Amino acid sequence: MKNTASTDSLAEKVRALVRPERFAHILRVAALAKEIAEKNGLDGERAYLAGLLHDAARDLPEEELLSLAPPENEVERAHPLSLHGRAARRLAEGWGVEDEEVLEAIEGHVYGVDPQNGIGMALYIADIAEPGRGVNGEIRELALAGRLSEAYRLAVANKVNYLQKKGVPIHPRTLAVYERLAHAP
């Protein structure tokens, strides 16, 4: 739970690694993740931290991504950019972040998080539905109305349907989350 680095110093570390437009996205995601968390009875500060860190590795050169987060399966080998979630987790660990739920949220923002991880669901939705993206307003509103699980189920189902329609191989973790949500009460 305890983090050794302050939020401000982490924000500066992230700002130094990403393009300015990315940092603007990151700040919008962090603010929305905090709001979603609070509307669902979760800790807004932890959600903000996850949002702040989630794309820290997104603008790194491919070699750095691969060395921080070596691919673990075919989908990852085919899409090195998708390793930026796990790579950001590694960066966060290196910066002293020890909150396991926050670390899982950061890693899982690309391929999905376990539905037990409320911070992770808040981050996942904030990332796909922050106002700058101009899409997924319905999912954002559901989450802000205190219906986080429902919003997450919809977000993951949309993603799986989209990839299936395109005939793109789906990451095993995404499929596992999708299955779990399909069988959730």
* Contact status: 55 vs Fe ion (CB under 5 A): yes
Closer of 53 and 144 to Fe ion (Cβ): 53
| Closest alpha carbon to 76 in 87, 89, 61, 92 | 87
Smallest distance from the beta carbon of 41 to Fe ion, in angstroms? 26
Q: How many CA atoms lie within 13 A of 59 on its CB side?
A: 14
* Contact status: 43 vs Fe ion (CB under 5 A): no
Q: By the 8 A CB rule, do 14 and 52 touch?
A: yes
Smallest distance from the beta carbon of 25 to Fe ion, in angstroms? 9
Closer of 35 and 55 to Fe ion (Cβ): 55
Smallest distance from the beta carbon of 120 to Fe ion, in angstroms? 13
Q: Which residue is nearest to Fe ion (CB)?
A: 55
Q: Where are the alpha helices (DSSP H) in the chain?
A: 7-17, 20-39, 44-53, 62-68, 74-78, 84-94, 100-111, 118-129, 137-144, 148-166, 172-182
Tell me which amino acid residue 97 is.
V
* Contact status: 107 vs Fe ion (CB under 5 A): no
Smallest distance from the beta carbon of 60 to Fe ion, in angstroms? 12
Tell me the C-alpha distance between 143 and 118, whole Å.
Answer: 11
Angle CA 125–138–130, to nearest 5: 40
- The binding track of 2-41 with respect to Fe ion, each residue x by CB under 5 A or -, is ----------------------------------------
The window from 14-22, 29-37, 47-55, 139-147 that contacts Fe ion (CB under 5 A) reads 47-55
Closer of 21 and 145 to Fe ion (Cβ): 21
Tell me the C-alpha distance between 28 and 33, whole Å.
Answer: 8
Binding site for Fe ion (CB under 5 A): 55
